[in-house]
Amino acid sequence: MIRLEREGAVAHLVLDRGEKLNALTLAMLAELDGHCRAIEGDPGVRAVVLRSALPRAFCAGADVREWSALGAEGMWRRWIAEGHRVFARFAGLPMPTVAAVGGVAFGGGLELALCCDLRVASSEARFALPEVKIGIVPGWGGPARLAALIGPSRTKQMALTGTAIDAPTALAWGLVNEVVGDAASRAGTLAAEIASGARVAVQVTKQLVDAAATGAPAATLDALAAGFVAGTDDLAEGVAAFREKRPPRFGPR
């Protein structure tokens, strides 16, 4: 399933369902959700690595046997909705995330890797959105996230044909940051380097880049503004006045 491990200031999320090439289930989504909650609540975590326990596969996608048994309403109300919610939570972690992709990253597996800030691939890695080949569509935000990385034309090439691309192509297209011999080791090194930086500066920088990339800066501005005023004497006086049930006495500017 999905394990949470710690190595200093780096948290490791380890996909470990070897008999099914880490094919994702609702139970695994629930585990990922719980691990995100734990990571969010741990100030000692400064970076996250997402990797597989298998050298030959990152994640083969969503478990076909599970989602195909849900029916149309189950796909709508449970499978797609839950995947979107959990993937959005993972993508929104305040600390940077690095995916180590070795072997196949297909369908939901590629969509999961796309939630990370950085992706490191082994030379044997392959990437695909093969859903059209079995009469379905990518359902967990993959097309939007992929188009933001590699552009709509190349995203359409992958999504409309379902054909896999290799690691050098993924690097040339901008889907991955690096292609190396040992993706897990390199991802760990990158995460440790990130974790050695100033925690608040790193997390704010991630937030700024995400806001610029999505074209939705309002939430980022709100968060940064709130963080700024939270450290002022005015707020301390305002809270004290509220507790003491008196008018606040704000100092000179």
140 domain residue, yes or no: yes
Of all residues in the chain, the percent with pLDDT exceeding 90 is 68
> Given 195, 217, 234, which residue is the final one in a domain?
195
The answer to whether residue 250 sits within a structural domain is no
Q: Is residue 212 part of a domain?
A: yes
- Concerning whether 131 is annotated as a catalytic residue, the answer is yes
In a domain, 8, yes or no: yes
Residues 90 and 102 grouped into a single domain = yes
For residues 205 and 188, membership in a common domain is answered with no
Per-residue pLDDT band at 235 (split at 50, 70, 90): confident
Question: Domain span at residue 165?
Answer: 2-195
**Higher per-residue confidence, 69 vs 175:** 175
68 or 185, which is more confident: 185
pLDDT band at 217 (very low <50, low <70, confident <90, very high): low
Mean pLDDT lowest among 1-5, 50-54, 184-188, 222-226 = 222-226
56 and 180 part of one domain: yes
pLDDT confidence of 220, banded at 50, 70, 90?
low
Cα 192 to Cα 36: distance, rounded to the nearest angstrom: 19
105 and 16 assigned to the same domain: yes
Catalytically annotated residue among 111, 178, 193, 237: 111
How far apart are alpha carbons 121 and 105 in whole angstroms? Answer: 10
Mean pLDDT score across all residues of the chain: 91
- Lowest average pLDDT, out of 3-12, 103-112, 130-139, 174-183, goes to 130-139
What was the pLDDT predicted at 219?
65
Based on the fold, state whether residues 141 and 168 are members of the same structural domain.
yes
More confident residue, 64 or 2: 2
Between CA 110 and CA 86 the distance in angstroms is 15
- 248 pLDDT band, cuts 50/70/90, is confident
Q: Which of 131, 178, 193, 244 is catalytic?
A: 131
pLDDT of amino acid 60: 95
In a domain, 68, yes or no: yes
165 and 223 belong to one structural domain? no
Burial group, residue 101, by CB count within 10 angstroms (0-12, 13-18, 19+): buried
Contact 7, 39 (CB under 8 A): no
| Domain shared by 31 and 94, yes or no | yes
Please give the pLDDT value at position 253.
54
Question: Per the domain annotation, does 238 fall within a domain?
Answer: yes
Q: Mind listing the pLDDT tens digit for each residue in 148-188?
A: 999 999 999 999 999 999 999 999 999 999 999 999 999 99
Q: Are residues 188 and 203 in the same domain?
A: no
Together in a domain, 216 and 100: no
On whether both 182 and 222 belong to a single domain, the answer is no
Any catalytic annotation for residue 19?
A: no
**Would you state the pLDDT for residue 215?**
67
Q: How many domains does the chain have?
A: 2
Higher confidence at residue 225 or residue 160?
A: 160
Confidence of residue 231 (pLDDT cuts 50, 70, 90): confident
**Burial of 233 by CB count in 10 Å (0-12 exposed, 13-18 middle, 19+ buried)?**
exposed
Q: Averaged over 65-69, what is the pLDDT?
A: 75
Instruction: Please say whether the beta carbons of 42 and 199 come within 8 A.
Output: no
Q: Is 232 in the same domain as 170? A: no
136: in domain: yes
Residue 249 located in a structural domain: no
pLDDT by residue (tens digit) across 9-59?
999 999 999 889 999 999 999 999 999 999 999 999 999 999 999 988 999
Same domain, 155 and 218: no
Q: Taking the model in full, what pTM does it have?
A: 0.88
